[in-house]
A = this chain, B = another copy of it.
Amino acid sequence: MLADIQSWGETLRLLVELAGTAAFALSGLLEAARKRLDAVGVCVVACVTAFGGGTLRDLLLDRRPFFWVQHVELLWGVMALCVLVMLFMRQRHFEVTEKAIQWPDALGLGLFTATGVHLALNEQMPMLVAVLMGVTTGVFGGVLRDVVCNEVPTAFRDHRPYAVCAFAGGWIYAGLGLLDAPGWVALVACVVVTAGLRLMALWRNWELPAWRV
């Protein structure tokens, strides 16, 4: 019974991870299309968006191997996704895709944040650094995508809460860890808070406080 629940939990986690990775890759693909990149650019930007955040975190924490080296099938998967999308996706599908990836993107943001905080705490990082590593994991894929595509990163200028949701979720994860809560409780709480805040922000059009210079 307990084993059953655990295995269900594992499966669910894997599904969220795959959905989140696909959502990140798709957001890279959309940006690449907008910038009229060629086939090489499309694949690179999709991979950078999908794997950039976790890779930057691993670089900063000096962890090896990267997760996309350990699970090279993820890399194959994203490249297959690129080919399929270039064959079958057209301008008229862009808007509906953008809508469709909001949910998996928000869930992925929560999961990747929790993973980042977890790994950083394992390496004895201070709490603030661990939370920022979580935010980095979730957010810097998109930042690198925008840097490569020669844009000011959306996450830094669109006044929509995104990194802030991950920041809140990260503190929840680190705080529950401090209270010796079981790992899966902290994980679920982090995902629920992060994704919940993000989806609320999109639904209610919340805006970040602006610096009125």
Contacts and interface: CB of A to CB of B under 8 A. Distances in A.
Interface of A: 32-33, 35-42, 44-45, 55, 59-60, 62, 64, 66, 68-69, 72, 75-76, 85-86, 89-91, 94, 125-126, 128-129, 132, 143, 147-153, 155-159, 162-164, 208-213
Contact of A150 (B60, B72, B150): B150
Given A59-B59, A72-B126, A208-B39, A148 B157 contact: no
B156 A90 contact: no
A68 B6 CA distance: 38
Contacts of A38: 156-159, 208, 210-211
Given A129-B72, A147-B147, A152 B37 contact: yes
23 contacts: A32-B211, A33-B211, A38-B208, A39-B208, A39-B209, A40-B156, A40-B208, A41-B152, A41-B153, A60-B66, A69-B125, A69-B129, A75-B132, A85-B211, A89-B213, A90-B212, A90-B213, A91-B213, A147-B148, A148-B153, A149-B152, A150-B151, A150-B152
